[in-house]
Structure 1
Amino acid sequence: MPLQLQARILRVIQDGEIKPVGSVHPRKVNVRIISATNRDLQSEIARENFREDLFYRLNVLPLHVPSLRERIEDIPLLLDHFVSSEALRLGTARKTFSKEALDFLLEYDWPGNIRELENFVRHIIVITPGDLITRKDLSNHFFSITSNAQSPLEQRPDQKKREDEANGAARGSFFDGYSWEELEREYVLHLLEKNRWHITRAAKEAGVNRSTFDSRMKKLNIRK
């Protein structure tokens, strides 16, 4: 956040008033501010990137939300929630993860946190034909889309740590550069080509009825 903007926010907090765009008269406001950051603000203050007075104004009730890798016990619950939500959204049967697949996912440190986990669920659901998602499904389908190199999930934690330290920079999410629509479009095209563009058979393999599959094709602008 630019220092100039920080000064404006501090003024609003101190004075309890704002001046709307185009107005010459200030207006009193009574608000509560909820703010969030992934930065170490004490370090930012030391580097003079963040105002110390604004920090103390905002830091009334601090809450630390640990990263996903610090609370892996939440991953099964989050997976269950996202899988149920996707099944409802797509109108398909609810899929489950095998124990081996779940153990595999618990070893990953999820640098993209919950957003990365949610994107993973949306992806794996549409590319897995069966109702049970296995470790083989993860290896055969999930990682081939992002890279032909060894996936972070296929590395042991100590190996990943050594590589991170050697690179000197944090890794990005393995979904970097891929939108949900691109992944879904690739999967639908894969099913169509596999079934020689027989839409009914492709829909059946996807676990949805033909009308739902047709709807996804139209939305993704897929034509033969």
Structure 2
Amino acid sequence: MAGQDDQKLNFNFIRDIAPVSSITRQPQAMLANPLFPAKTIPEFIDYAKANPGKVNMSSPGIGTISHLAGELFKMMAGVNLVHVPFGGNGPALTALLGGQVEVSVPSLPSSIEYIRTGKLLGLAVTSAMRAEALPDIPSVGEFVTGYEVTAWYGVGAPKGVAVEINAGLADPKLKARLADFGGAVFALSPADFGKFIADETEKWGKVIQAINIKAG
């Protein structure tokens, strides 16, 4: 997100960095404390609309993917959630587990065991499709049309550097390992990866501008 929320950078990511390869992508998970009355996304939206400004949403900090995923949900679902930033993913999840906040949108790998053991309620995953590791949990997009958020990882290099790493992403063991944690192999050609980066930059730029995030 640096290219969107920090105007002090001395380079332009889209202009100066050549996409080499995407590697993996993973959804966030929209989680609630098990004592929260809403148990599904439709119930959650109804509750939030009936109680504007009374549902607290934790995140690891301002401008993190967890924060922005929540802000995009607020915009697209038309609800008013109160953002409560913490100094890291651990404290944000601890607050949710302890009932100090009602909802959070952490990465699925960081929270999947809490869902599996029932310590936290998985309302939905934020990817377009359901996660292979949790097939019974719906995606947010099943209820909020067009909603999709994934954290993705890839390799970029200064333009003119030739690197090829996509072949290793076909390893079945890698695919299985990523799936177990809620992620997936994300192998795009350099050209397609470049378009994906440009689309993501535009998408999140709109969210960042809408909520007026500025780099500190």
Q: Which has the larger radius of gyration?
A: 1
User: Which of the two has greater strand per residue?
Assistant: 2
Using CA pairs under 8 Å that are at least 6 residues apart, name the structure with larger relative contact order, 1 or 2: 2
User: Which of the two has greater helix per residue?
Assistant: 1
